[in-house]
Structure 1
Amino acid sequence: MHQPTPYPVPIEALRQPRGWLWRALGRAYLRLGGWRIEGAFPEDPKFTTIVAPHTSNWDFVVGVAVVFALELRVSWLGKHSLFQTPLRRFFLWLGGIPVNRQVRHGVVDACVKAFEGVPALLLALAPEGTRKGASQWRSGFYWIATAADVPIWPVGFDFRDHVIRLMPVFHPTGNLETDLPLIQALFDRVHGLRERPLEAPGS
């Protein structure tokens, strides 16, 4: 009989057990949706995770299911308006950090300081600036990783094959023009819920 692929296990410093019910709900959602997880977690205790492509609010739902299923401790940046809803406490409990996208100054520095103050941190970011139209990547995730001297962990949500692809970490060189096309190429075969063209990198 075919045995299901076991769930990858993060290093202990990145685990956050929330109880069997949340773990069971996350795994049930992935199982019923036909999702599987391929790949392994990095051995690094600190890294910036980029999740792409981001084309639908369903990306967030799948991401939450993964966090629950793997009992994962994660911090993530979200637009501040998300935290002005009745779900504010839930988002904060999930590790959400509200960011005003109209005020860019200070976000990179704040994230770098967050890495300096803890022994382990998984900071998840969506590198794309919008869910609609063409996909344009912002470079903030790159400068956070570079300034904090941590690797970048690419994770793809492939809605065509229903696979969460955990890729090997990428160590930035500090040359954005060289590195960014290499990182984007890792997602060439990852299909979002809505297909869209990829534009030149934004900032």
Structure 2
Amino acid sequence: MHTTMFDTPILKTLLRWLSIIALKLSGWKAEGEIPKDLKKCVMIAAPHTSNWDLPFMLFIAFKLRARIYWMGKEQIFKPPFKRLMMWMGGIPVDRSKANNMVQASIDAIKTNEQLFLIVPPEGTRSKVTYWKTGFYHIAHGAGVPILMGFLDYNNKTGGIKGIFTTSGDIDADMEKIKAIYAPINAKKADQYHND
């Protein structure tokens, strides 16, 4: 995978302290922790309804010392922002093409020694009525757990809700995952449904 701000010597320490200060000044708290022996996972980022989700996610990732990569729509990777977005851990996704992102993600996880891949289950900031299952298929196919990241705007908390290991029974597993996210409050509540 490409080098990101989470790998940049000296700067990553500075960015971690700036993230801690930004969270404190905005009244946000980080909850949960990432197991020290966890090297690979698919991380849910939910709910995802606002442009503010990305900066808060990055602040919390720095606070929790998570070296993350996240998927974003290809349009935000256009020049002059492409290099910046990639350096921030972004991976461009062209949603207009029928490409196999699930298999490409599985291959990337399997061929890297360490990879935390963030996939928003809604797939977009826009209103959706159901969660997409790509994150589940990536985790199950790669044989890695799902790290359940969250942002709760009402309580100004974000972080990790726990780890979920897929069983292969997608319907039962999705019900369990959605139940964990049921009490979480999105920034734009009318756009968040975890059905």
Distance 1:199 1:40, change over 3 A: closer
Q: CA deviation at 1:135?
A: 4.3
The aligned runs of 1:4-153 (5 Å cut-off) are 16=7, 18-42=11-35, 43-153=37-147
Matched AA of 2:184: V
Q: Any conservation in 1 of the 2:42–2:119 contact (CA below 8 Å)?
A: yes
Task: Determine whether 1:155 maps to 2:149.
Answer: yes
Structure 1 residues 108 and 35 mapped into 2: Cα distance closer, same or farther (>3 Å)? same
Deviations 1:91-134 (A, max 9, x none): 10112111111224221111111111111110011110332334
TM-score, normalising length: structure 1: 0.84
Q: 4+ residue stretches of structure 1 with deviation over 6 A?
A: none
Provide the TM-score with structure 2 as the length reference.
0.88
| Alignment partner, residue 165 of structure 2 | 171
SS in structure 1 opposite 2:58?
Answer: helix
Unaligned runs of 5+ in 1: 1-14
Question: Shift of the alpha carbon at 1:190?
Answer: 0.9
Which sections of structure 2, spanning at least 5 residues, go unmatched? Answer: 1-5
C-alpha separation in 2, matches of 1:151 and 1:164: 19
Is 1:181 matched with 2:175? Answer: yes
Residues 173 and 104 of structure 1: CA distance in aligned 2, closer, same or farther (over 3 Å):
farther
SS for the counterpart of 2:175 is helix
RMSD over aligned Cα atoms: 1.8
Count of aligned residue pairs for this structure pair: 186
Name the SS for the 1:183 alignment partner. Answer: helix
Cα distance in 2 for partners of 1:19, 1:143 equals 31
2:34/2:66 contact within 8 Å kept: no
Aligned partners of 1:124, 1:44: CA distance in 2, in Å?
Answer: 14
- Cα deviation for residue 60 of structure 1 reads 0.8
1:25 counterpart SS class:
helix
